[in-house]
Amino acid sequence: MANVKFDNITVRYGSNTVLDNFSLEVESGKIVCLVGPSGCGKTTLVRALLGLNKPETGTITVGDRILFDAKKRINVPAEKRNIGIVFQDYAVWPHMTVVENVSYPLKKQRRPKEEIRERAMRALEQVHMTEYANHLPNQLSGGQQQRVAIARALVVDSDVLVMDEPITNLDAKLREEMLLEIRMIQKRLNATILYITHDQQSALQLCDKMAIMQLDGTLCQYGTDEEIILHPANRFTFEFIGVSNFIPVVKNGNSVALDCGEMIPYADAIPKEVENGGFELGVRPNDIVFDPASPLKAKVDSRVFLGSEYNYFLSLGKKQIRVQQSMLDARTKGVAEEGETIGIRFLNTRFYPAQKGGATA
Amino acid sequence: MKQYGGVSAELAAVDGHKRLNMDKVMTVVCFILLLIIVVIPIVMIIYNAFFNEGKLEVDMFVQQISEKKNLEAMWNTLKIAVFATILGTIMGVFYAWLLGRSDIPAKGLMRALFNIPYMFPPFLGAMAWDMMFNGRSGYINKWLVSIFHLKSMPININSVWGIVFVEVSYYFPFVFMQVVSALERMDPTLEESARIAGAKQGQVILKITLPLVKPAISAGALLILTTSLAHFGVPSILGYAKGIYTLPTRIYAVIYNSGGSFDGIRQGAALSVMLVVVVALALVLQNKILSSGSYDIIKGKSMRPTLIKLRGAKIPLFLLAILTLVLIVIVPLVMIVLISFLKAYGLPLTFKNFTFAQYQKVFSANGTIAAIRNSLFVSITAGIICMFLGTLVAYVVQKIRPRGKGVLEVISMLPYAIPGTVLSIGVILAWSGRIAGINLYNTIWIILVAYLARYLSFSMKTSSAALLQVHSSLEEAARVCGASHTESLADVTLPLIRPAMVSGFFLIFLPAMREVTTSILLYGPYTRTLGVQIYSLRDAGMIPQAAALATVAIGIIIILNTIVTKLTKDRKGV
């Protein structure tokens, strides 16, 4: 029920700068997913919020409470920050039973015994672990331990709940269930949840807003999931969320061509600045449609049925591109056969300055 | 939010800085304690070996290391250590394989029995063998002479080979225990794949099994080597009479003969430098010969390895194993007990010569009771202090990771490679009134200080290994759940490493109870330890009384060990 504000946070490990003047504001009562590749500084940011590391610069506030301020030399110790956390490796204490684990935060708040018991059991109920209350963690599976960790984070009414990849060790079905559960818990408590993941799929399912972090530790986009999918701020976001094809765009005489090992003329409308080449065309596999009338021809290398869609690899010139065809489209227009040459059209194209080395997806 | 909302940021900030200070305090305490316990004695040895009254003086050192007797002692030390290591390693690996991987009968029992030689104090073993095969008066020797009408004693245990034999008997478990556990944790599919690929059983053992347990063998062999190089008890009991010296016994002789004068101690310091150099060379050499990375194939979880059928060799090998145990455990034990009932040493072992008088003497003499009390006191105190100090050092090294943690680690491990005799001399030099006027000489405290230095690395190692298992997120989770730094240590970290701390305590307490090497140089008139008392009784010719006290000591050790095994079995499986 409080917003979280990172302002100009810098964290260094030795000479390695992980976060450089990082700023982000998480609105109160929202689930915000912090998404980024492994090693981009997500966990470092969270540790700064929890008080487990000490930034060199900046401030961190939760609601109107300053947790950290480098200039004013304020650094509230971890135990006084009132933030719930579900660690990536559960961090369930192996020498305590499940209920002892969950009761611990309440014990540290010196609550009456009956209240501790009652609230701990309620938290266990929320994660469907009541029957395991008196088990030791080593008698539980990884998924069950993770749920104990979630219960432990829920048991106190924290201002903010941080979840660091909390469901990676669950199987697909349980993962789905836990995501729904987290959503419901958030609704009920109206808590602010900062959810960290490198898995964009669960991020999309869960969050109100997404913060995309780049490998160098900078925030490259913050917005709703629709905004991020439909209007990626830059090439990194575009590439990171979802699958993408990249094809170099070059100037070939007076016209524009796609450089696919051979020059393939490209007649569709393009922004003015792209006309001189030096760009790459980015397009998602589900934004490529089969159109017999299109002058752009590609050969079908392979086709795989994935249940709700078909996945194709096509050769465009000497370049392989990926295409997804929805079931609806396949039913109405039919599928392409392997070996067939077929016309394709790019929808929702984007153009980014060409990268050195020409890395393409 | 509700309950903490009112806490002013400034107040909280003060608390936040306190946390950092606590880490710093722990680090500084570690450095200071290690400086006092470990660094000062070692520096004192080096200083006194080369300096006299503040002036560089190498003459004494040069004279010591060029003296023939000392060179001989060095040569003996090396010879004994090398042969004890080679033979002990072969024996340890052989029995480890036999008990770990073959279908030899009564395996559980055999495993338990093969751990006994480890508990058996080697110098008591040496005493027993001396009683049987002394070149002049050994009981079995005399018996053999009378039966076979021999002209001279057939076996002379008072020789370099005798010393090697006794050391091998009690040191092979170092290799045995390491290898047997490695063999049991080894992934059996590795061997099975070799069989499937067409290798014969013998080839599998030589080309797959042995190379895979090489790190374990190497670790055990290193233990034998360093222990043997530093060992005092066996060579002194078996070699003294015949003038066979090793460096540790030579150091003792030099100091003893000089009556504990400062010159004698300085000469001892010079010899100590020599011994340390020998140990260091041996370590380097061993590293060169046996160096190998540890393999990741040894899995933490236990699996059931396929057992190799011995077929026809089963019964003979079983008998061999039993015979070995009888020879190195039962026979010496029986011998000591028998002698302890004798009226006087040298009398034939017949019933009419038996008496309880020796035990009466043992239990009525003030000296012996005091010795048992002293040993219990120093062992328990050293065990407890080391348990906490070792854990503190381990915590600082593993979790706080301050600048200079490498130095800290090396310092705490240093005494592990430094012979007990050498350490004693360092402690004498440091704490007999030459630093800040602190004189602990002739008090029990000097023995305690030496034990602390000697055994600190034991508890540090076990606590370190346990702390590595405690992921830092466990402590962090406690902090975030509202526990202060101290509370998180008390509620999470300490309970998790408590079993390791307890076993660290016993790892120190048990060997300290029967220790001679260190205390032999440090005891005063009223501060004899159990080991020293047995040693001096025997030295004074009161062999039956020494045997009686040895029997009592062995009894105490067996009782303590049983308690330890019970305790460690019952603990919560964390």
Question: What is the phi-psi region of residue A171: left when phi exceeds 0, alpha when psi lies from -120 to 50, beta otherwise?
Answer: beta
Q: Which residues in chain B touch residue A83, judged by CB atoms under 8 angstroms apart?
A: 480
Q: A95, B496: Cβ pair inside 8 Å?
A: yes
- Mean pLDDT of the residues in chain A: 86
Q: For A52, which residue in chain B has the nearest alpha carbon? A: B476
The C-alpha atoms of residue B154 and residue B141 are separated, in whole angstroms, by 6
Q: Which fold, B46-340? A: MetI-like fold (1.10.3720)
Helix axes B247-257, B68-101, angle to 10 degrees: 140
**Where are any strands of DSSP class E within B47-86?**
51-52, 55-56
Q: Which residues in chain A touch residue B485, judged by CB atoms under 8 angstroms apart?
A: 77
- Mean pLDDT of the residues in chain B: 82
Q: For A102, which residue in chain B has the nearest alpha carbon? A: B481
Q: B9, A74: Cβ pair inside 8 Å?
A: yes
pLDDT per residue as tens digits for the range B500-550: 888 888 888 888 888 888 888 888 878 889 999 998 888 888 888 899 999
CATH of A4-240, one of 3.40.640.10, 3.40.50.300, 3.40.50.261, 3.30.460.10: 3.40.50.300
Residue among B459, B407, B419, B389 at smallest CA distance from B41: B419
Instruction: Say how many CB pairs under 8 Å bridge A and B.
Output: 108
Residue among A222, A211, A238, A220 at smallest CA distance from A348: A238
Among A89, A149, A159, the residue with its CB nearest the CB of B471 is A89
Q: Which residues in chain A touch residue B573, judged by CB atoms under 8 angstroms apart?
A: 138
Q: Which residues in chain A touch residue B479, judged by CB atoms under 8 angstroms apart?
A: 50-52, 77-79
Residue among B185, B181, B180, B193 at smallest CA distance from B298: B185
Q: How many C-beta atoms lie closer than 10 Å to residue A46's C-beta?
A: 21
pLDDT value of residue A99: 93
- B103 in contact with chain A, both atoms CB, cutoff 8 A: no
Q: How many C-beta atoms lie closer than 10 Å to residue B2's C-beta?
A: 8
pLDDT value of residue B20: 53
pLDDT value of residue B568: 67
Q: What is the mean pLDDT of residues A124-131?
A: 87
pLDDT per residue as tens digits for the range B60-70: 888 888 888 88
Q: For B479, which residue in chain A has the nearest alpha carbon? A: A79
Q: What band does A177 get if pLDDT is binned at 50, 70 and 90?
A: confident
Q: What is the mean pLDDT of residues A42-63?
A: 89
Question: What is the phi-psi region of residue B444: left when phi exceeds 0, alpha when psi lies from -120 to 50, beta otherwise?
Answer: alpha
Q: Which residues in chain B touch residue A158, judged by CB atoms under 8 angstroms apart?
A: 1
Q: Which residues in chain A touch residue B403, judged by CB atoms under 8 angstroms apart?
A: none
pLDDT per residue as tens digits for the range B299-352: 444 455 667 777 888 888 899 998 998 888 889 999 999 888 888 888 887 888
Q: What is the mean pLDDT of residues A121-133?
A: 89
Q: What band does B381 get if pLDDT is binned at 50, 70 and 90?
A: very high
Q: What is the mean pLDDT of residues B420-438?
A: 83
Mutate: best of B10, B23, B401, B481, partner A, most A CBs <10 A: B481
Please report the ipTM that was assigned to this predicted complex: 0.79
State how far residue A98 is from chain B, nearest Cα, in angstroms.
Answer: 14
Interface of B with A in 484-513 (CB under 8 A): 484-485, 487-488, 491-492, 495-496
Q: A95, B495: Cβ pair inside 8 Å?
A: yes
CB B131, CB B336: distance < 8 Å: yes
State how far residue A360 is from chain B, nearest Cα, in angstroms.
Answer: 37
State how far residue A316 is from chain B, nearest Cα, in angstroms.
Answer: 46
pLDDT value of residue B86: 93
Phi, psi torsion values for A295, nearest 5 degrees = -70, -15
DSSP letters, B509-566, are HHHHHT--TTGGGT--TT---HHHHHHHHHHTT-HHHHHHHHHHHHHHHHHHHHHHHH
pLDDT value of residue B121: 85
The C-alpha atoms of residue B488 and residue B251 are separated, in whole angstroms, by 49
Q: Does the structure show a pLDDT above 50 at B12?
A: no
CB-hemisphere CA count at 13 Å for A288?
Answer: 25
| DSSP H or E run through A13 | strand A4-13
Residues 6+ apart with CB under 8 A from A261: A317, A318, A319
Q: What is the mean pLDDT of residues A43-57?
A: 89
Q: Which fold, A245-353? A: OB fold (Dihydrolipoamide Acetyltransferase, E2P) (2.40.50)
Q: Hunting for tokens 């590391």 — which residue is that? A: A53
Q: Which residues in chain A touch residue B473, judged by CB atoms under 8 angstroms apart?
A: 87-89, 91
Residues of chain A with CATH 2.40.50.140: 245-353
DSSP letters, A49-109, are HHTSS--SEEEEEETTEEEEETTTTEE--GGGS-EEEEBTTB---TTS-HHHHHHHHHHHT
Q: Does the structure show a pLDDT above 70 at B4?
A: no
- A110 in contact with chain B, both atoms CB, cutoff 8 A: no
Of A236-240, A327-331, B4-8, B251-255, minimum mean pLDDT range: B4-8
Q: Does the structure show a pLDDT above 90 at B466?
A: no
CATH of B358-418+454-569, one of 1.10.3720.10, 1.40.20.10, 2.40.110.20, 1.20.1640.10: 1.10.3720.10
- B473 in contact with chain A, both atoms CB, cutoff 8 A: yes
- A66 in contact with chain B, both atoms CB, cutoff 8 A: yes
Q: What band does B565 get if pLDDT is binned at 50, 70 and 90?
A: confident
- B3 in contact with chain A, both atoms CB, cutoff 8 A: yes
Question: What is the phi-psi region of residue B44: left when phi exceeds 0, alpha when psi lies from -120 to 50, beta otherwise?
Answer: alpha
With H, G, I as helix, E, B as strand and everything else as coil, classify residue A2: coil
Q: Which residues in chain B touch residue A151, judged by CB atoms under 8 angstroms apart?
A: none
> Would you list the domain boundaries of chain B?
46-340, 358-418+454-569
pLDDT value of residue B165: 93
Q: Does the structure show a pLDDT above 80 at B570?
A: no
Q: Which pair of structure tokens corresponds to residue B471?
A: 């992921």
Q: How far does chain B reach from its first CA to its final CA, in angstroms?
A: 35
Q: Does the structure show a pLDDT above 90 at B85?
A: yes
Q: A78, B7: Cβ pair inside 8 Å?
A: no
Q: Which pair of structure tokens corresponds to residue B101?
A: 């991987």
- A119 in contact with chain B, both atoms CB, cutoff 8 A: no
pLDDT value of residue A5: 92
pLDDT value of residue A356: 59
pLDDT value of residue B379: 93
- Fold matches, B46-340 and B358-418+454-569: yes
pLDDT value of residue B384: 94
Q: B479, A51: Cβ pair inside 8 Å?
A: yes
Q: What band does A142 get if pLDDT is binned at 50, 70 and 90?
A: confident
Of A312-321, B378-387, B410-419, minimum mean pLDDT range: B410-419
β-bridge mates for residue B1, sequence order: none
Question: Rounded to 5 degrees, what angle do the CA atoms A190, A7, A209 make?
Answer: 40
Interface of A with B in 242-271 (CB under 8 A): none
Q: Which pair of structure tokens corresponds to residue B480?
A: 């975030």
pLDDT per residue as tens digits for the range A325-338: 988 888 888 888 88
Of A299-313, B189-203, B384-398, minimum mean pLDDT range: B189-203
pLDDT value of residue A357: 52
Q: Does the structure show a pLDDT above 50 at B136?
A: yes
State how far residue A15 is from chain B, nearest Cα, in angstroms.
Answer: 15
| DSSP H or E run through A348 | none
- A115 in contact with chain B, both atoms CB, cutoff 8 A: no
Among B473, B480, B574, the residue with its CB nearest the CB of A94 is B574
Q: Does the structure show a pLDDT above 60 at B14?
A: no
Residues of chain A with CATH 3.40.50.300: 4-240
Q: Which pair of structure tokens corresponds to residue B296?
A: 């990741």
Q: Hunting for tokens 């305790």 — which residue is that? A: B567
Burial (CB count within 10 angstroms: exposed 0-12, middle 13-18, buried 19+), residue A357: exposed
Sheet containing strand A4-13, edge to edge, reads A16-26, A4-13, A57-62, A65-69, A74-75
pLDDT value of residue A277: 77
pLDDT value of residue B435: 74
The C-alpha atoms of residue B177 and residue B194 are separated, in whole angstroms, by 26
Q: Which residues in chain A touch residue B15, judged by CB atoms under 8 angstroms apart?
A: 77, 80
